[in-house]
Amino acid sequence: MRDVQKLTYEQLTEVRLTPEEASAATRHPIVAVLLDVRSLYNVGSIFRTADAFGIERLLLCGFTPAPPRPEISKTALGADSVVPFTVYKNVLDAIDQLKSTGYKVYAAEIAHGSLKPEDLGSEHFPLALVFGNELTGVPDEVLAVCHGAVEIPMYGTKHSLNVAVAAGVLLSSAVHRYRETQS
């Protein structure tokens, strides 16, 4: 059996970016659009995930809460100070802006004709993923202006994941697929 040991904090700091380095680093051309995400803790978790995967920015739309909020900071663990974000009252304005700058906009939603994460190819980047409300998902009027949908394959009895978990799965997959298309 292999001898597996956790890295010490000192060893981690040698291989991780400092907040200053992270702010200046080139990020992956992937944007997460959060629409009417109610839970501040989910928003904080998504900030932390966005930092972990080097996501370009978060767009906080509708009634999605924005930093500075102690509940967001509690789960973001400082990522809310290094991940760029923009607040939009109207998600359609955010999507128009993304499209005008060349982004392909896909909803994280169960829909007819949806892609699986492994279907993402170079033609899908730069990519914006829209994550909807914890209970209602992405509204039909928003889905109608997206280029399509990306669906997480699930094999149990439930048909959805917590929005922060779904963001983690799809952002990880999108970064992986983007990096594969660049090699």
What strands, in cross-sheet order, belong to the sheet with 55-61?
A: 85-88, 55-61, 28-35, 127-131, 104-108, 148-150
Full-model pTM: 0.94
pLDDT tens across the length of the chain (183 residues):
789 999 898 998 888 888 788 778 899 999 999 999 999 999 999 999 999 999 999 999 999 999 999 999 999 999 999 999 999 999 999 999 999 999 999 999 999 999 999 999 999 999 999 999 999 999 999 999 999 999 999 999 998 999 999 999 999 999 999 999 998
Tokens of 69: 């909020």
Element (H or E) spanning 131, and its range? strand 127-131
The full set of domains in the chain, from first to last, is 18-182 (3.40.1280.10)
Instruction: Give the count of alpha carbons within 13 A of 82, CB side only.
Output: 23
Q: Are the C-beta atoms of residues 95 and 145 closer than 8 Å to each other?
A: yes
Q: Are the C-beta atoms of residues 113 and 147 closer than 8 Å to each other?
A: no
Distance between CA atoms of 142 and 43, rounded to whole angstroms?
A: 20
